[in-house]
């Protein structure tokens, strides 16, 4: 599989937009969840570890899962994550991990996954009973957030009611949303939600 982020990885963290997004999403996760020092966490679509950097000080360990080797290499270079974050370069929808987690976090990765139902089922199968998800992505939009010719984007955001129903269908409860940040591009607003839910 081609690494669609190979050329982007080198300066991925440099963009102001990515820093604002990760700060807002990281802060929202910390505010919404009672993070504990013994928590085992998976960061789905971890990229260069922008969200890991916010969450790692509050938990025991994070497994950073991504299909981009180049992005995970950038994560490994961050000294503040050494000893706290383990990287796994594989598609967990096709090759699940053996681990069970207390929490799965994700930021702006879900729209890169074609089969949303399979992704949600995979989240459920990787969580301990009572485990949590905290997932950030775009509200449903008209397709103008990303460039028209971009590869690997399968969804123009998500309808919150439809997404809630999908999570409840596989056994999540207390599914709720809040707006983590609203991004503006050419004065057009693009709200980004944080979904939090509990596996029954």
10 located within any domain: no
**What integer pLDDT is reported at residue 1 of this predicted model?**
47
> In a 10 Å sphere around its CB, with 0-12 CB exposed, 13-18 middle and 19+ buried, how is residue 109 labelled?
buried
**Full domain range(s) for residue 46:** 16-28+36-199
**What integer pLDDT is reported at residue 162 of this predicted model?**
97
Interacting residues of 38 by C-beta distance below 8 A, sequence separation 6+: 59, 60
Residue with tokens 């080797």: 69
9 located within any domain: no
pLDDT tens-place values along the chain, 200 residues long:
454 554 555 555 656 777 889 999 999 999 999 999 999 999 999 999 999 999 999 999 999 999 999 999 999 999 999 999 999 999 999 999 999 999 999 999 999 999 999 999 999 999 999 999 999 999 999 999 988 888 889 999 999 999 999 999 999 999 999 999 999 988 999 999 999 999 98
**What integer pLDDT is reported at residue 11 of this predicted model?**
58
The tokens describing 101, both together, are: 């987690």
116 located within any domain: yes
11 located within any domain: no
177 located within any domain: yes
**What integer pLDDT is reported at residue 3 of this predicted model?**
47
State phi, psi for 194 to the nearest 5 degrees. Answer: -115, 115
Domain count, the chain: 1
Q: Domain with 92 in it: what CATH number?
A: 3.40.50.150
User: How many residues appear in the chain?
Assistant: 200
CA distances from 78 to 50, 55, 74, 90 (A): 10, 14, 7, 20
**What integer pLDDT is reported at residue 148 of this predicted model?**
82
Q: How far apart are CA 93 and CA 172, in angstroms?
A: 18
Interacting residues of 7 by C-beta distance below 8 A, sequence separation 6+: none
7 located within any domain: no
Q: How many Å is the maximal CA-CA distance in the chain? A: 45
Q: How far apart are CA 22 and CA 25, in angstroms?
A: 5
**What integer pLDDT is reported at residue 8 of this predicted model?**
53
The three-state (H, E, C) secondary structure of 56-122, written as one string: HHHCCEEEEEECCHHHHHHHHCCHHHCCCEEEEECCCCCCCCCCCEEEEEEECCHHHCCCHHHHHHH
């Amino acid at each position: 599989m081609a690494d669609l982020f190979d050329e982007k990885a080198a300066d991925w963290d440099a963009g102001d937009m990515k820093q604002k997004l990760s700060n807002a999403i990281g802060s929202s996760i910390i505010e919404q969840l009672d993070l504990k020092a013994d928590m085992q966490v998976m960061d789905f679509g971890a990229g260069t570890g922008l969200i890991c950097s916010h969450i790692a000080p509050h938990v025991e360990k994070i497994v950073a899962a991504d299909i981009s080797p180049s992005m995970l290499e950038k994560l490994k270079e961050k000294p503040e994550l050494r000893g706290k974050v383990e990287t796994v370069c594989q598609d967990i929808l096709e090759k699940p991990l053996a681990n069970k987690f207390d929490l799965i976090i994700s930021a702006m990765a879900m729209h890169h996954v074609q089969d949303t139902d399979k992704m949600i089922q995979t989240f459920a199968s990787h969580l301990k009973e009572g485990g949590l998800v905290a997932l950030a992505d775009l509200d449903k939009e008209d397709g103008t957030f990303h460039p028209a010719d971009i590869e690997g984007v399968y969804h123009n955001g998500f309808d919150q009611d439809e997404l809630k129903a999908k999570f409840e269908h596989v056994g999540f409860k207390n599914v709720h949303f809040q707006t983590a940040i609203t991004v503006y591009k050419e004065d057009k607003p693009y709200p980004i939600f944080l979904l939090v839910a509990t596996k029954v």
